[in-house]
Structure 1
Amino acid sequence: MNKPAVELPCVSNIPEAYRCSECRFETNLMTDFKEHSDSWVEPYNCANCNFETFSQLVLMKHMLVRCSIAMFRCEHCPYLSKRANNLKMHTMLRHFPDEKIRWFKCEQCPYKAKRKNNLQNHVIAKHCTAKHFECEQCPYKTKWDYDLKKHKLIKHTPLANIKWFQCEHCVYRSKLPHNLKNHVISMHKRPDEIKWFECDQCPYKTKRKAHLKTHVVAKHTVCDSSFECEFCPFKTKLKHYLKAHVTAMHWFECDQCAYKGKGPDLLKKHAYTKHAAPHEIKWFKCEQCPYKSKRKTYLRNHVEAIHLLLKKTKWFKCEQCAFESRGRVGLKIHAIMQHTAPEDIKWLECQQCSYRTVLKQYLAAHVRRSQQTPLDRIKWFKCEQLLGVVKTHIIVKHTSTEDIGWLQCGQCSDKTKEVLKTHVIAR
């Protein structure tokens, strides 16, 4: 049965518009009028920082989370938190006996965790071989979404589109915020301002939480699983220790020439530089001259040496004389050798020969070169081979003046047979 249609009378009078008392703005929609009115209302400002908002609720949340004094205190240690759930999680992780904790155990190995997401990350990192996140611009693959985002930012984002994180104290800048944070802690904070991470089993302390975790695993943890070297009986608890061992102790031979390198990375770079087909090479070209390079670091060194204005260079100045250095290590060596009394110099001596130096890294490099590598395994370069220092020797000693490809300085009339970068830095 059909119901009769209901006739509605036409309303001829239009609702009165909303008019702003501060200007000539008017609208028939209340939402538009409210949005317009908010632009005239003075914002709510935080009393402890520069934060401002038009919402009292947002301000209250900000005051509670960001600018309030910690309200929740741990009963067992000095830990403070602004949120109750954070304190609850801290108490469970740090102060609960092991028998009262609900452990999340891995089904494939003895690993167990106090938090479910830690177990999930462990399974992905250790037992999952599939790499679901692929880069659209190169063959890079990873198990983690964050690593893919970081890869795209570092490798494929133009410099003009990058949001740089600039240090407030020096010229350092970074593409990633945690790198800037680590830089500030390492370079600009006084020891009394640093939050030290201390080992509860020995006097060791460090500025970074990751370093403390590495120390605990290496020194105080007994674990059945370890990383084994495939070339010798060496074992270690940490993956990056294994990589450092392989790089320092084992030679990798090129299957196309007589080259030998310590570490698979060096062999990979050699193969790309010397044996890659022209169509496989990704050239890095200088924007200011015809120079191009197969390595990004070579291009950066070229730009710094040839095109970078000296006034933009960060110089490390000596406090006792007019000496300047482009590197912190150079300034340190100068201070030791020129302004330190001979009896106050702490020499680091080699235990197997008469070599000595003032820098720890120089001694370590000497040991790697001279002691760990037998003489019969060293690849020596003779005068007739155009490699490394020998190439410079041949140009300087055995090449006639008319056959030399002179390197001309772009800022003066000087020219050189050897390294133009040294001249630019010195002048």
Structure 2
Amino acid sequence: IEKRHICDICGKGFPYHSILESHKRCHTGEKPFNCHFCDKKFAQKATLQVHERTHTGERPYKCRYCEKTFAQYGTKTVHEKSAHLGIRNYKCPKCDKCLSSPSALYTHKKTHGEKTFQCEFCPKTFTLKNYLKLHVKQVHEQNERKHVCRFCGKSFAYAGSLQVHVRTHTGERPYRCSYCPKAFASQGNLQSHERTHTGERPYSCGTCGRSFIQKSQLIAHEATHASVVSSSTENSASSVQPVPTSVAPPIDKKNTSADYVCKFCGKRYAYASSLYVHTRLHTGERPFR
């Protein structure tokens, strides 16, 4: 196809005028497509449609090999290759971990690098620019809370956040697990739960290689490495002798690492089942009636 429509900014050619107009937005920064559920804007209508599925829960693409569904066709393809066909072609040059897509490899490689994106409002730094933008929105730009819950009066910066919160009052759980009868109030909780079925553990420790279902679990786990380093440093600096093994109490290995962290209050548990039972105190879930 002849590329007759040329961008007057970068010289790139396109076969159709509509594609050229869409391309120009990457230069102008124009984002004419607004999300109906939150304040996000997008340059492409297709990108908006994919984003809004995170609010509606729509997952139109079904895996050819299992019952799992996806919001994006590309995500479905990656799942089929990695989960069913065993194809993981993208290898990390630093730790030899194999990833299922170039984007997954790019994100993973950032975990090895320095945190280069610094927040202008506080000392925090981030490995990805998107993480920084999300941090600024959630922490520093939420002074104006215009979305108010009609049940309890709690206010939120975004309509989507209010929508998820209201479900704690109504009991609505629109996100259903593809593998069991469980349902959830938010897409994020569903994704974390479904990983218990698929075995997917996308968050890997850079120190020991152990992987986790949730990022909060990884953060809690990494803190155990930091405490070990700190403890060994303090012990070497002092002349305190270790307690003889004959006197020291036996270590219950099952409870030495509390890797399961409550996202509501930060309390830690050694077992996922213990965390699940505890979480019901916050969610009000009563599965046994």
> Is the pair's TM-score, using the shorter chain for normalization, greater than 0.5?
no
Q: TM-score, normalised by structure 1?
A: 0.33
Q: TM-score, normalised by structure 2?
A: 0.44
Q: Which has the larger radius of gyration?
A: 1
Greater RCO (CA < 8 Å, at least 6 residues apart): 2
